[in-house]
Structure formats: C-alpha cells, structure tokens
C-alpha cells in the first residue's frame, strides 16, 4: 500500500483527501471532535508540503440531496481552528462553487467540499453512477489520499471509485488503523482478550464467528448480552433481545466450549423499569432479571470479573459499551472496562464508534490506550476478516 511519500513533491498540486468527519452534533455544536483531530497529521503534512488541499467528507445520512442539518459548516470552522488557518467551505460537492473554491486555492491552503452524501451518486449501488461522481471529483485534483478509515468498508464514489482515477496513497490515519488492527488479527500476543458490547448481537455475529478460533477470551456485555443469557435459558425481562438469534448464539457457546475459548458473561445486571436517566436502578443476578425490568448495565461483580480477565492480557480489543453509558447510573460497567484497558500493560485497541465516544465522554486520557479507532463499522469488518473495498483499491 502506497504512502503519501509516494506522491513525491506535492507543492502546487491539488490533492483530494477523503477524511471522515462524521462527528456528533448538538444542533450546530460538535460534541466530539475526535475524528477531526485524527485527520490532522495527514492534512498538516499536505499543508507543509505546499499542496492545494481539497478535503471531501460526509456527515450523517442525508437522503442524497442537500440538507442544512448535515452541512459541514461546523466541521470547516473547527478544522480551521485546529489547523490554525482558514478552511474554505464550498457550497456544493462538485458543482460551480466547488470548482471555483479549488481554483482559488493557493499552495498550502485548505478547502472543504460540502457533504459528499448530498449527492446521491456517492452511495449508489450502480458502478456507472458512482463513476460519474468519481470523474467529477477526480477533475478537481491531481492526486488522491484515502484517510477516512471510518468509510473504507464502503464501496462509495469518494472512497473506492476515485482512487481508480488518480495517483493514490493511504494517509497516516488509515495506515495506523490497519497496522494496529493487524496486531490483533494476524499474530496477536497472548492472552488475547476481546470485549464486545453494544446493543445488537446481530451486529457482532461475524466478529464472534471469526474470533472464536483466534481469541482466548470473549467478554460479552451491553444490550447484546441478553441474547446470550436467553440462549442459556435465563429470563431477561423487558431487556433488549433478538429472539431470532438465540439459536445461533447457543451454537457459538457450544463451539467456544469445544475449542477451549472462554466466553465470559455477566453474573449480575443493573436493571430499571424504564429506559430513562433517572429511572431507579437495582442490581440483580443475571439469572433472575424481573419480568418487568430491563437490563441497562453489567453489575459491579461482573465489572470486577471482567477487569480481572483483562488484567493479564497482552492484546485487548474492545468494541461496544457495557451499558447505557450516557446515563450516569448505567455507566459504571463501561467505566470499569475503560479503566481495565488503561491499567493493563498489553496492546489495547478501542474499536471506534460508541466505545471511542465513551472513552472521551467519561474523561479518560486517550494516551493510556494503544490505539483508539475512528471506525466502528470498519474495525468490526476488519476483525471479521472481510475485505474492505476502500483498502483493497489502495493495494496496487
């Protein structure tokens, strides 16, 4: 995979950089700028090299047409603050404003194209449709740098097709992500522990199937754990449950046992009668969840047990919170996992998405983790062993 050094002298060249700026917003206020900060190393190298930097990115899920709610204006402002320069925002993606904005760029200056998903061709399943947008993006640049790891699992115009049309390279963020995740998949130091949480077990089935043959321990929490508890014959009250996956999970439990892989489930659960921040909470045994209560976090006994299972690990991958960490009463399990990863001397990966958000929201020093991924879905698919189109296209 080519690095940005392979592009040679970029002074005066228009370099199209695909970044991932899909940040959470409260109105027009960015509540977590982690993905913007993660993009800075590559952009700074381009700026220092005198490139005319043209950044393309998406935000949210607009329906293929402009929507002010998903404008990249807040991102342009924050990016400019972090870079210490003005970042001009084009009013469109590849139209008249985009062309004029790029034409006006001086060496070492940065422009941001408006949300690429305002154009329906970006996410089209039709190769020809995506190709026409890729042609228009490519016409704005002399080279392409892929640095949005959070989208490399998508076969989209700005991720996949444009790389086929320009001299291309992987940015430093993408390279760092791939290098880190390969440490957890190719030949991990052992014990190798994987912590999985989040709401739906169906989102993690591919990871579980792939890791049963690779990990030494799988620790399961979050909303997905109730499908595991149901597979063991426990009642789960009104907790989140994917009944159609119970048999599949039961099969994974049997397979793990036969292969000597330890699957660790909570022994106690923090429950409430409602999904509300101020709902009265109580801790109950995992096999005795009241019929009228829902589980919203792993319990303190489970949190201590999970931390103990992480303590001696040489490699740890964590993807998905243990509970509804946004509500303080149900954040303790997630805090315990974050603390355990911080304390271990092993190589630790926080697998993007809600896990990365939890680390920052709960106030942990990011430097205490070996790697915090910027791509939840992309990191999951990597762990599943899938081919990622946005990576595959870079490997000449």
Task: Please say whether the beta carbons of 334 and 300 come within 8 A.
Answer: no
Task: Check: CB of residue 52 under 8 Å from CB of residue 106.
Answer: yes
Predicted confidence at residue 380, as pLDDT, reads: 86
Residue 357: per-residue pLDDT: 85
Q: In the annotation, is 233 catalytic?
A: no
For residue 137, give the nearest of 99, 104, 107, 85 by alpha carbon: 99
Catalytic pick among 200, 214, 250, 314: 200
The C-alpha atoms of residue 204 and residue 197 are separated, in whole angstroms, by 9
pLDDT at res. 33 = 92
Identify the H or E element spanning 225: helix 225-231
DSSP 256: H
- What are the strands, taking DSSP E only, across the chain? 14-18, 25-26, 29-30, 52-56, 87-89, 110-112, 143-146, 168-170, 192-196, 217-220, 262-264, 268-272, 282-285, 294-298, 315-319, 347-350, 371-372
Q: Which of 35, 52, 121, 130 is catalytic?
A: 35
Quote the CA–CA distance of 374 and 22 in Å, as a whole number. 10
- pLDDT at position 119: 98
- First CA to last CA across the chain, in angstroms? 7
Task: Please name the residues in contact with 377: beta carbons below 8 A apart, sequence gap of 6 or more.
Answer: 150, 153, 352, 353
Tell me whether the omega of the peptide bond preceding residue 184 falls within 30 degrees of 0, making it cis: no
What radius of gyration do the chain's Cα atoms show?
22
Contact partners, residue 50, CB within 8 Å, separation at least 6: 10, 11, 12, 107, 108
Number of H helices, E strands in the chain: 13, 17
**Measured between alpha carbons, how far is residue 305 from residues 37, 253, 290, 298 in Å?**
34, 19, 23, 11
Specify the DSSP element, H or E, that contains 258.
helix 246-259
Q: Which residues are annotated as a binding site for substrate?
A: 20-22, 35, 58-61, 117, 154
Whole-number Cα distances in Å, 28 to 66, 72, 73, 78: 16, 10, 8, 11
Task: Give the DSSP H or E segment for 43.
Answer: helix 34-48
Rounded to 5°, the CA angle 249-252-258 comes to 150
Which regions of 253-395 does DSSP assign to beta strands (E)?
262-264, 268-272, 282-285, 294-298, 315-319, 347-350, 371-372
Is residue 44 among the annotated active site residues? Answer: no
- For 125-149, b/e burial (b = at least 16 CB within 10 A) is eeeebbbbbbebbbebbbbbbbbbb
Catalytic residue among 197, 223, 353, 376: 353
pTM (two decimals) = 0.89
pLDDT per residue as tens, the chain (396 positions): 899 999 999 999 999 999 999 999 999 999 989 899 999 999 999 999 999 999 999 999 999 999 999 999 999 999 999 999 999 999 999 999 999 999 999 999 999 999 999 999 999 999 999 999 999 999 999 999 999 999 999 999 999 999 999 999 999 999 999 999 998 888 899 999 999 998 888 888 888 998 898 999 999 999 999 999 999 999 999 999 999 999 999 999 999 999 999 999 999 999 999 999 999 999 999 999 999 999 999 999 999 999 999 999 999 999 999 999 999 999 999 999 999 999 999 999 998 678 888 898 899 998 999 999 988 889 888 988 889 999 999 997
pLDDT at 96: 98
Q: Do the Cβ atoms of 162 and 143 come closer than 8 Å?
A: no
Catalytic site includes residue 200: yes
Question: Does residue 377 have an active-site annotation?
Answer: yes
């Amino acid at each position: 995979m080519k690095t940005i050094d392979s592009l040679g002298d970029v002074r005066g060249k228009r370099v199209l950089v695909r970044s991932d700026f899909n940040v959470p917003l409260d109105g027009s206020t960015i509540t977590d700028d982690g993905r913007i900060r993660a993009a800075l190393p590559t952009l700074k190298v381009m700026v220092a090299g005198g490139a005319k930097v043209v950044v393309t990115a998406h935000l949210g899920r607009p329906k293929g047409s402009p929507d002010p709610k998903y404008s990249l204006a807040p991102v342009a402002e924050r990016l400019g603050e972090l870079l210490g320069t003005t970042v001009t925002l084009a009013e469109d993606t590849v139209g008249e404003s985009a062309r004029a904005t790029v034409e006006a760029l001086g060496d070492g200056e940065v422009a941001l194209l408006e949300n690429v998903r305002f154009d329906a061709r970006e996410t089209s399943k039709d190769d020809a449709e995506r190709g026409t947008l890729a042609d228009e993006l490519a016409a704005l640049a002399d080279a392409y740098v892929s640095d949005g790891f959070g989208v490399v699992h998508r076969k989209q115009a700005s991720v996949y097709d444009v790389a086929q049309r320009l001299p291309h390279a992987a940015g430093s963020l993408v390279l760092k992500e791939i290098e880190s995740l390969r440490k957890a998949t190719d030949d991990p130091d052992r014990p190798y522990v994987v912590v999985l949480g989040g709401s739906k077990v169906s989102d993690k089935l591919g990871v579980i199937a792939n890791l049963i043959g690779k990990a030494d321990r799988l620790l399961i929490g979050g909303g997905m754990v109730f499908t595991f508890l149901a597979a063991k014959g426990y009642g789960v009250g009104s907790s989140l449950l994917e009944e159609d996956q119970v048999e599949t999970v039961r099969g994974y439990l049997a397979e793990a046992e036969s292969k000597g892989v330890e699957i660790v489930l909570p022994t106690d659960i923090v429950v409430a009668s409602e999904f509300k921040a101020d709902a009265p909470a109580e801790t109950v045994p995992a096999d005795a969840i009241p019929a009228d209560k829902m589980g919203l976090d792993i319990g303190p006994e489970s949190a201590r047990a999970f931390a103990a299972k992480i303590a001696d690990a040489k490699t740890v991958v964590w993807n998905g919170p243990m509970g509804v960490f946004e509500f303080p009463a149900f954040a303790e399990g997630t805090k315990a996992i974050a603390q355990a990863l911080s304390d271990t001397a092993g190589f630790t990966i926080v697998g993007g998405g809600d896990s990365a958000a939890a680390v920052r929201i709960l106030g942990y020093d990011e430097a205490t983790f070996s790697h915090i991924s910027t791509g939840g879905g992309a990191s999951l698919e990597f762990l599943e062993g899938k081919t990622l189109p946005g990576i595959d296209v870079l490997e000449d």
